[in-house]
Structure 1
Amino acid sequence: MSLQSTPTTASPEELVRNSADESVPWVVQKYGGTSVGKSLDSITKIVESYIDSNTRVALVCSARSSHTKALGTTNLLLQASREALETPSGSGSGAASQSGTTTPFFPKRVGSGFFGNMSSSISSLSQLEVSGGGRSSSPSPFTSSSSNRTRSPPKSPTTPSLESSQVTEAAEGFHKTVDTIKAGHLEAARATLKPGPLRDELEEEIEKDCEALRGFLYAAQIIDEISPRSQDSIVGTGERLACKIVAAALRDRGVDSELVVLDSIVDSSMSAVSDAALTAAGDQGVAQLGQEFYTELAMRLGDRLRECGQRVPVVTGYFGPVPGSLLAQIGRGYTDLCAALCAVGLQASELQVWKEVDGIFTADPRKVPSARLVPVITPDEAAELTYYGSEVIHPFTMEQVIRARIPIRIKNVENPSGSGTVIYPDEGFPRGLDTAPPKKERVEDIVGLPVEERMPTAVTIKDTIIVLNIHSNRKTLSHGFLARIFGTLDRAGVVVDLISTSEVHVSMAMQDLQNKHRLDRLVRDLEKIGDVTVSRDMAILSLVGRNMRNAIGSAGLMFTSLAKAMINIEMISQGASEINISCVIEEKDAIKALNVIHDSCLTIPRSPAAGTSGSSLQLQA
């Protein structure tokens, strides 16, 4: 489809657009990397269906992942960062300077990062200002500063010239990884879009982004350093590339879209808020950004998305380097957090997380044939399932939308007609926070059953666990015993999943440390405190239910069922929230235990609307 002001195959009036009515509610849809990589046709139909139902839609996308997360773009970018520091730097001068070529791809982008050669298009944004709630009649999600731009692939503006002795080196290391990233995205662009100027411009953008990345990594190789801020910018390349493909694919299929890049939405004007937060490390030993920072960021995101008018915003899940580093502050789940903040900023009616699963199940249906879809779940329960083996949504991300009383719905991108699972901000949560009235009635009105009759909710398993048992030796007084243990764990940077204590004995279950030397060092340090034994090849079995705190006999039924099945229990722990009973068993008994507990403890009648198609969210940690 033509990029010029006059379309060749469709008029702007024929495009699917968001409503210009400000009273129409927003829905923020977050799509994971695998969905972006495999289900663009389905995503387009989902967007169109919600707009047709009088809803305004905004999309937040993760970096592409064609098959699994292990082969995804983000992992490749992290790999390229490591390779840049591992590969010996070549002789000669440093990385070449950035080209000054303008790249007016998508309008009104926010920020540049190290992609400065693509940000000069901001000066041409006046062509696409909002007018009367609508947008320019440009048929493309991006605008061109010149109608006679050359379409030949651009020369690499940031790739340094290599001497003949460096050609072999260039074919290896991060160069090879960047080539893999570029080839994958070019292949996706060609498979997704029809031939034409729109696809040509998208391919040109992919080329420029990847060559800018290559030049940045080469510069890092020369100086032999990648700072946390630089690492954030490198990782953010994945979301930029993915969202460009998504925005172009939507436009190619008749949806009026606009890419929103958030590289510099966190600017100097937010420094006072962020610096104040970072100076208060608290008792965690690590400076963290406070809620004031995220509240301000949510407001900015909402204002930015409203500027898109009737165009459908396609938002990069990466929102720029933040104080203290995005990866250090938030981790790999920053795209979920970005979607949550967008929903808060827009005061959306719902945050939707689209995956390749139908929702949250009572157990993993791949291992438990009788598992059922859970239609509604509380934030407390979702957080516990996330901690103990299920990839639901990060509790901190969930807190941002629940604080604003916005429901979260998990749905299947390949089964959009399914009801999914709603994480609902019911009256009992969040405690002590804003108590604004929820946007729907009560949980009972959604699920059709009183909450008191819904217990427990799910059973989950967490594999690859080790148990450390520490018994105080006679030379050590019981006073200070626990303090010394926790101090040792803190210095080692180890996270404990479960703990059971007495005056002179502690049992701790944790994820197996894959680095043998690190585990050996931790054991040696703990042996200074007491006698240490290590149990390997274990698993944590967790029974989760909001109202288990009011249930008499739940723990007894769970442990009796395991005993009848001849499954030995290594240790037992009940969470402080009183909605989770966990025990450690041998990993070889994990599937057997799941089925035993599901059959004996999860006795909620099967809902006619519930199904077991698709994979569960259980066991995807």
Structure 2
Amino acid sequence: MSDVEPTPPSSPSPPSPGSSSSSSLDFIHTPPNLHQNTIDPAAKWLVQKYGGTSVGKFATKIAEDIIPNYLDQHKVAIVCSARSGSTKALGTTNLLLQAASEALRASRLSKSSSDTSGFATPNGASLFSPSGSPKTRSPGSGAPFGALAMTPATPDTPSFDATVDLIRSEHLTAARGAISNPDILKELQVEIERDCDSLRSFLFAAQIIDEISPRSKDSIIGYGERLSCKIMAAILRDKGIDAEYVSLENIIPTTDDQDALSGSETLGQEFYDDVAALVGERIRQCGARVPVVTGFFGPVPGSLLRQIGRGYTDLLSALLAVGLGASELQIWKEVDGIFTADPRKVPTARLIPIISPEEAAELTYYGSEVVHPFTMEQVIRKKIPIRIKNVENPQGGGTVIHPDSEVDSPPAQTERAPPSAFIYGSAYRPVTICEPEEQKLPTAVTIKENIVVLNVNSNRKSVSHGFLAGIFGVLDRFGVVVDLISTSEVHVSMAIEDGVQKKILDKVVRELRKSGTVSVHHNMAILSLVGKRMRHLVGIAGRMFTTLGNGNVNIEMISQGANEINISCVIDGRDAVKALNLIHQSCLQIRPHNVKVGPWLF
């Protein structure tokens, strides 16, 4: 294993963080009189983050129907994730990670024959000149290693080459389908080709040294946001909006200890505050142009993926909102907002207009894809609201995660009458929905499926604190995250995600058996009822569990959070959808005035 790693890839002539232009994608041939951000000095910034599916499927709609509606009242900054694919496996980030794995796998398969003489430049010439001095690249080449746009001098093409070709093809197809201006399209195609050539070169170099460090992997996934944002900037230009592509890959000053942090160490809040200030200052330099910003902002000490994970684009948008002092952070998805339950499973689920950060965090932990709590924390601590909106319904109000924890969210409402349900032998009829203040209800119910429950009974060979210490020590040693836990002096029940590898789970069970007998239950689900109002809602736990009992849903374990806004239980995964509907109807359904409800509905 070599200690040398490839030079992180970069765009041609990469800008410094203080430069006013971030790419050669500063289209020379653009339509006149482009729509710009307002120049009103009193206007506040508005940060809009678009996910991979939104950029992949609705880029033209975003450019035509969404962004122009904000430019005259706000200064808009856009953050884009890497584009999605037709399936999850074909998403750009997944393909980039696949290409990285293929580079290492190919290196190890051909290691015995991978000497210097076994590689050639694209035109078939030797990598080095006869005198032994490296050849120089032609001006403007995107390859990060001079003339190292290398291909193996063997009949077989490495498998990552096909993956890079797929990434290239997907982005070129998207560009051709969305852009009508031939000059803009031509320059964008050059950018896509250049980035894909640079990526290919980087992977070849990684194959030579047989290593991809965490920092190198960060650089590889950064290509996804780079390509996505260039396409989005080009589409905006094509639709008459003066957009500027902004890469943040060099925004963090390079230090000698970029890789010094291990995966177990974390960056402090001071680091994220510094990043917020840097990105805010960089975006202000765009003037009246609409910045299209890469969610990738590596290299980060300790690795971007290790420190933050694949949600780094959401985090960057939050840090940008803080750095700009934005009036609002908008996260655009393909749903209208946060619902009282998953509307795909519960037909009577209703949109929640306002929700507290604590409630949103609980829903995220227990199965609903809202916003990661750490991302929320960055903007909420600066009193910036987060609004979740739907790219397919831009006129909808969405859901606001309000920074003021004292603001009570009214129960979500709908104009649709509830479905048929028996109330003293008759079905619901269309009714007038009650006013929000007239009923106190929980906020939402959510389900987290694919859960494994571990039950450990003490063998009584150790005192109780030794019993618990031994269990928690095993979990820490194997890096197992527990979603729910219920304990007594001699018994512990734990709910963990089924994503733990079977080999690791088997080792955990073997270690736990040193402390007592262990039983394992697969295909379970966590059902969680969430709401700030539940702190003062007498009898809500009894209502929840009685409803499940009357519906013949067996409860494996029960847990309530210390903040008293979440009551959770573990049930059989086969009962998940039924339980979700039962609890939504019993505990979250807004009922009409002066109607007595049968005892099982309370």
Query: 1:6 Cα deviation (Å)?
Result: 7.8
When residues 304 and 242 of structure 1 are mapped into structure 2, their CA distance, relative to the original with a 3 A threshold, is same
Match of 1:130 in 2: none
Q: Does the Cα contact within 8 Å between 1:460 and 1:594 map onto a contact in 2?
A: yes
When residues 542 and 4 of structure 1 are mapped into structure 2, their CA distance, relative to the original with a 3 A threshold, is closer
Match of 2:467 in 1: 481
Among 40, 58, 68, the alignment partner of 2:59 is: 40
Query: 1:443 Cα deviation (Å)?
Result: 5.9
Match of 2:429 in 1: none
Among 151, 167, 180, the alignment partner of 2:155 is: 167
Query: 1:311 Cα deviation (Å)?
Result: 0.4
Match of 2:340 in 1: 362
Query: 1:454 Cα deviation (Å)?
Result: 4.7
Among 63, 76, 93, the alignment partner of 2:95 is: 76
Query: 1:467 Cα deviation (Å)?
Result: 0.3
Q: Does 1:295 align with 2:333?
A: no
Q: Does the Cα contact within 8 Å between 2:143 and 2:197 map onto a contact in 1?
A: no
- 3-state DSSP class of the match of 1:479? helix
Q: Does 1:381 align with 2:350?
A: no
Among 553, 560, 564, the alignment partner of 1:567 is: 553
The separation in 2 between residues aligned to 1:79 and 1:365, in whole angstroms, is 33
Query: 1:551 Cα deviation (Å)?
Result: 1.3
The separation in 1 between residues aligned to 2:577 and 2:137, in whole angstroms, is 57
Query: 1:187 Cα deviation (Å)?
Result: 0.9
The separation in 2 between residues aligned to 1:100 and 1:249, in whole angstroms, is 30
Structure 1 letter corresponding to 2:57 = K
Match of 2:10 in 1: none
Give CA-to-partner distance per residue, 1:198-237, whole Å, 9 cap, x none: 1111111111111111111111111111111001000111
Give CA-to-partner distance per residue, 1:428-449, whole Å, 9 cap, x none: 49xxxxxxxxxxxx86799997
Match of 1:212 in 2: 198
Question: Unaligned regions of 5+ residues in structure 2, if any?
Answer: 1-24, 121-126, 128-133, 414-433, 593-602
Match of 2:478 in 1: 492
Structure 2 letter corresponding to 1:265 = I
Q: Does 1:597 align with 2:579?
A: no
When residues 555 and 58 of structure 1 are mapped into structure 2, their CA distance, relative to the original with a 3 A threshold, is same
Give CA-to-partner distance per residue, 1:333-359, whole Å, 9 cap, x none: 000000001100111100000001110
Query: 1:167 Cα deviation (Å)?
Result: 2.7
- 3-state DSSP class of the match of 1:18? coil
Q: Does 1:558 align with 2:544?
A: yes
- 3-state DSSP class of the match of 2:155? helix
The separation in 2 between residues aligned to 1:338 and 1:40, in whole angstroms, is 20
Report the TM-score, using the length of structure 1 for normalisation. 0.80
Q: Does the Cα contact within 8 Å between 1:426 and 1:443 map onto a contact in 2?
A: no
When residues 449 and 494 of structure 1 are mapped into structure 2, their CA distance, relative to the original with a 3 A threshold, is farther
Query: 1:181 Cα deviation (Å)?
Result: 0.7
Q: Does the Cα contact within 8 Å between 1:452 and 1:547 map onto a contact in 2?
A: no
Match of 1:102 in 2: 140
The separation in 2 between residues aligned to 1:445 and 1:534, in whole angstroms, is 39
Give CA-to-partner distance per residue, 1:105-137, whole Å, 9 cap, x none: xxxxxxxxx9758xxxxxxxxxxxxxxxxxxxx
Question: Unaligned regions of 5+ residues in structure 1, if any?
Answer: 104-113, 118-155, 430-441, 607-621
- 3-state DSSP class of the match of 1:319? coil
Query: 1:173 Cα deviation (Å)?
Result: 1.8
Among 278, 303, 326, the alignment partner of 1:325 is: 303
The separation in 2 between residues aligned to 1:389 and 1:6, in whole angstroms, is 47
Structure 2 letter corresponding to 1:102 = G
Among 331, 336, 339, the alignment partner of 2:317 is: 339
The separation in 1 between residues aligned to 2:540 and 2:495, in whole angstroms, is 22
Q: Does 1:411 align with 2:389?
A: yes
Task: Give the RMSD, CA atoms, in angstroms.
Answer: 2.7
Structure 1 letter corresponding to 2:150 = P
Structure 1 letter corresponding to 2:546 = T
The separation in 2 between residues aligned to 1:295 and 1:423, in whole angstroms, is 21
Match of 1:91 in 2: 114
- 3-state DSSP class of the match of 1:358? coil
Aligned positions of 1:150-161 closer than 5 A: 158-161=148-151
The separation in 2 between residues aligned to 1:34 and 1:5, in whole angstroms, is 26
Report the TM-score, using the length of structure 2 for normalisation. 0.83
- 3-state DSSP class of the match of 2:89? helix
Match of 2:494 in 1: 508
Q: Does 1:31 align with 2:50?
A: yes
Query: 1:453 Cα deviation (Å)?
Result: 5.0
Quick one: percent identity of the two aligned structures? Answer: 60
Among 61, 66, 69, the alignment partner of 1:49 is: 69
The separation in 2 between residues aligned to 1:71 and 1:514, in whole angstroms, is 23
Q: Does the Cα contact within 8 Å between 1:500 and 1:507 map onto a contact in 2?
A: yes
Among 55, 60, 82, the alignment partner of 1:63 is: 82
Query: 1:515 Cα deviation (Å)?
Result: 2.5
Aligned positions of 1:126-205 closer than 5 A: 158-163=148-153, 166-168=154-156, 170=157, 172-194=158-180, 196-205=182-191
The separation in 2 between residues aligned to 1:223 and 1:203, in whole angstroms, is 31
When residues 543 and 361 of structure 1 are mapped into structure 2, their CA distance, relative to the original with a 3 A threshold, is same
The separation in 1 between residues aligned to 2:331 and 2:323, in whole angstroms, is 17
Give CA-to-partner distance per residue, 1:512-561, whole Å, 9 cap, x none: 14522221111111111111100111000000101212211110000000
The separation in 2 between residues aligned to 1:217 and 1:250, in whole angstroms, is 31
The separation in 1 between residues aligned to 2:209 and 2:457, in whole angstroms, is 49
Structure 2 letter corresponding to 1:423 = I
Q: Does 1:16 align with 2:35?
A: yes
Structure 1 letter corresponding to 2:498 = D
When residues 186 and 566 of structure 1 are mapped into structure 2, their CA distance, relative to the original with a 3 A threshold, is same
Match of 2:11 in 1: none
- 3-state DSSP class of the match of 2:575? helix
Q: Does the Cα contact within 8 Å between 2:144 and 2:198 map onto a contact in 1?
A: no
Structure 1 letter corresponding to 2:114 = S
When residues 157 and 421 of structure 1 are mapped into structure 2, their CA distance, relative to the original with a 3 A threshold, is farther
- After the TM superposition, which of the residue ranges 417-426 and 84-93 deviates more from structure 2? 84-93
Q: Does the Cα contact within 8 Å between 1:485 and 1:529 map onto a contact in 2?
A: yes
Q: Does the Cα contact within 8 Å between 2:471 and 2:512 map onto a contact in 1?
A: yes
Q: Does the Cα contact within 8 Å between 1:513 and 1:519 map onto a contact in 2?
A: no
Aligned positions of 1:298-317 closer than 5 A: 298-317=276-295
The separation in 2 between residues aligned to 1:392 and 1:4, in whole angstroms, is 35
The separation in 1 between residues aligned to 2:316 and 2:27, in whole angstroms, is 33
Q: Does 1:460 align with 2:446?
A: yes
